[in-house]
Structure 1
Amino acid sequence: MTYSIVGYDPEAKEWGIAVQSKFIGVGAVVPFAKAGVGAVATQSYANTSYGPQALQLMEEGKTAEEALELITKDDPERHLRQVGLLDAMGNPATFTGEGCYDWAGGITGPNFAAQGNILVGENTVHAMGEIFTSTEGPLAHRLLTALDAGQSAGGDSRGMQSAALLVVKEQGGYGGFNDWYIDVRVDDHPDPIKELIRIYKLHRLYFAESETGRVVLIEGEVAEELERELFRLGYRDKKKSLQQSLKDYLHTENFEMREQEENMIDLDVLDFMKNQRE
């Protein structure tokens, strides 16, 4: 009742999983990953021990194929399981038990494994693989684009309910204290993939570094727009400078990562303000 894609970016050294299911809170069940080790998606009457077990085996030096064989061989219900994984080098493996409900299956390719069960048809996994391979950009973007393509190609035959994205990289977590680079979920929604993409874009706005070309001086029309939006949102205090009012907004709204030098602003923040409700 799920389809997923596990991917690896060898340049950025990122491992990740994107998944959608007619199942509540799929992000709490399917994805497992560890930076420098690999990533796992376990589904279809999921055996959630597969995630930690496979990661431990790959951390010990086993390939994805070797880890897959070891975690499934003694499972008495392996015929009901489906799992996709990548090791530290991006080597893929996928498994679909013969008892998984049709359509069920998976494919692998360079740095990815795509799989699904109770699908409209095999086009879903092929679309995910094709789009992941041909899409450029950050791993998270490629995974989400592939997941969306899988839905467009048919998706889960029972419909949609939840979706999740997990990407890990060394010291990629908040403050650099762990490797959980991106961990966003939609637990229950009529269009969970589109909602997940929206939340991912918000995640980038809050946590990604500003693009150089989007950082400009606060002058002219930019200053006028900033003044107007800060006033509309209740942050413009005439007893303070425009810069201090902007700082108050940034710190209250958790945009510390987008704070710039004196008299500068990230236009992505200004654009967000224009669309923000009072």
Structure 2
Amino acid sequence: MMVSTADKRATFRRMHEAGCFVLPNPFDVGSAKALQRLGFKAIASTSAGFAWSIGKADNHVTVDEVLAHLTALAASVDIPVNADFEGGFAHDAEGVVANVMRAVATGIAGLSIEDSTGDKSNPLYARELAIARIKAARRAIDAAGGEVLLTGRCEAFLWGQADIKLVTDRLIAYAEAGADCLYAPGIKTREEIEAVVKAVAPKPVNLLIGASGLSLREAEALGVRRISVGGSLARVAWAGFMRAAKEMAEQGTFSELSAGYPGGELNKLFS
């Protein structure tokens, strides 16, 4: 029997109350189902991983494409799905309200709104507008019952603004504006992580970890509540695909195909 959307949302909120958990990022229905079968208790979409899966660059998908993807992910698993909802696919607060309401209707348990503009010359929204956009997302979620968990993201480090004071100032403001969880992708040092955790306490913090990052236990010791990996799983999958495809295209040989995951095991996984 499928778990109800309300139950998924209640479970996701409880997961943020104590401890630290991994929130891996599938890029399609198959990878979502595989992660559930491997025992993960919640998953999160990845804007980059999804974009690549439909032959587009990150941040170049449409809101309709993302909503269809989120609907498919949420329906495919019995665990909560958190949505990477980029910047809400709108600049103004009212546009964010409209799109977040549509996102909530897909069956997700949580979503994030980031403060990057996509403009390299002016990468972050002005502070007051960024806060207004988080408030807009909060209004939309509350209008739908308030069950979806809202994550406020400060993208400064990803855009070359490695100013931890700017980041903590914004995350505190996003928490006050109604964000349930806070996230600053790009922070890596223990000092940066501790500064963010302390600044927004007692609200939970999401940490992005790549190949050389902290372990789950190390992150938990720093006060992190959840860990995501962004597009990393998608990049790992693409790495194997590109190695094999390039070998065939450039050398006319097929040795890389021997590294493939056994088809029989995949059939068992999805049976």
Give the shorter-chain TM-score range. under 0.3
Give the TM-score taking structure 1 as reference length.
0.26
Q: Which is strand-richer, 1 or 2?
A: 1
Q: Which is helix-richer, 1 or 2?
A: 2
